[in-house]
Structure 1
Amino acid sequence: MTRRRCALTVFWVGAAAVTGLVALGYLGGLRINLTPSYPLGIWRIVPFDRKVAVGDLVMICPPPTSAFTLARLRGYLHSGLCPGWLSPLIKTVAATQGQRVEIAGSVSVDGVPLAGSELRAADGEGRALIPYAGGVVPLGHIFLHSDFAGSYDSRYFGPVPAAGVLGLAHPVLTIHP
């Protein structure tokens, strides 16, 4: 075997091994978070054995709406395997169906202020952020939040269908930037 052929064989075997490991990780529920809303790194999706509840840290596929298309165009979201080729989000459930969300300078749920929920008029590039109007979380929906000041969450896009929840988000190997 020539040296070139040997090098190509090693390259392709290595590429196949890496692809196989990535595929196994994906099938095993591993995902990579590259956004600052929660620690960067590898997270695992743990399937629910109960209903989604307030306080749950979840991984969710955003619905393919105009708000998320804009978020993708602005770079708030990466490409992924969720509908509309969006990446999943890691967020905390702040309200579930039937709860009242009020939006002023910050967010309140059923009259209780939500910590770290101050609204911003613009993103880091100076582009306008339009807040959600507020109201009662509809049947089958959840209101998502991250206390990271620059997070794109339900403060701006409103409640999302709970059917998009992939499971609980558990850190595997993460770093705090």
Structure 2
Amino acid sequence: MNHLAHDQRGIRAKRKTAVAVVLTAGIGAFLIFVSGWIGGFRINLTPSEPLGLWRIVPLDRPVAVGDVVFICPHGTATMHEARDRGYLRSGLCPAGYAPLIKTIVGVEGQEVEVGVDVRIVGHSVPRSHVSVLDGKGRSLVPFGGGVIPAGHLFVHSEFISSFDSRYFGPIPATGILGLAREVWTYAP
């Protein structure tokens, strides 16, 4: 056997080993992702809530004001525009968006007033200042207010630039995936 043939076999063996390592790592990462997804784990990369790992916990009772939930936005014109502007990410919700993590601040039958801030049943929602422009200077149209319809919720995030019911109004409760629980997060 000549020296060149021996070198080529060594190179092929190293390539096979490298391909096997990369393939094994890829399959391992995929299995971890799938296990996490099935287990209800999600990564939050938006500043509306602390960044990091969250878990969807099944909701075995009616929702209540103060609950932090994962909720899928519906495919309305407002949500489509929000996706085009970069307020929403693509995801696996039925309308093609990623679920939102929001706090329920109003439930069906409650009166919502939107002005400089949000008032529900006459009480100001903390940290609910309403902006007229987004971070890029584009107009924001706040929700006009009114009674939260049956089967809907008013959701909020204390992050000043959050896209929440201040702008899209009440959201159908049918989009709730479950309670949002922090697993390993960081609040900058």
What's the TM-score bracket when you normalise by the shorter of the two chains?
over 0.9
Superposition deviation, residue 25 in structure 1: 0.1
Gaps of 5+ in 2: 1-11
* Count of matched residue positions in the alignment of Structure 1 and Structure 2: 177
- Residue 107 in structure 1 maps to residue 118 in structure 2: yes
- Residue 87 in structure 1 maps to residue 88 in structure 2: no
SS in structure 2 opposite 1:127? coil
Partner of 2:77: 66
Q: Deviations over 1:42-95 (max 9, x none)?
A: 100000010111110001011111111111111111111012210000000010
Among candidates 159, 162, 167, match of residue 173 of structure 2: 162
Percent same amino acid at aligned positions? 51
Partner Cα separation in structure 1 for residue 36 and residue 78 of structure 2: 30
Gaps of 5+ in 1: none
TM-score, normalised on structure 1?
A: 0.98
Q: Which runs of 4+ in 1 moved over 4 A?
A: none
TM-score, normalised on structure 2?
A: 0.92
Partner of 2:108: 97
Larger % of strand: which?
1
Q: Deviations over 1:121-152 (max 9, x none)?
A: 10000011000000000000000011111110
Give the letter aligned to residue 113 of structure 2.
Answer: E
Partner Cα separation in structure 2 for residue 68 and residue 26 of structure 1: 24
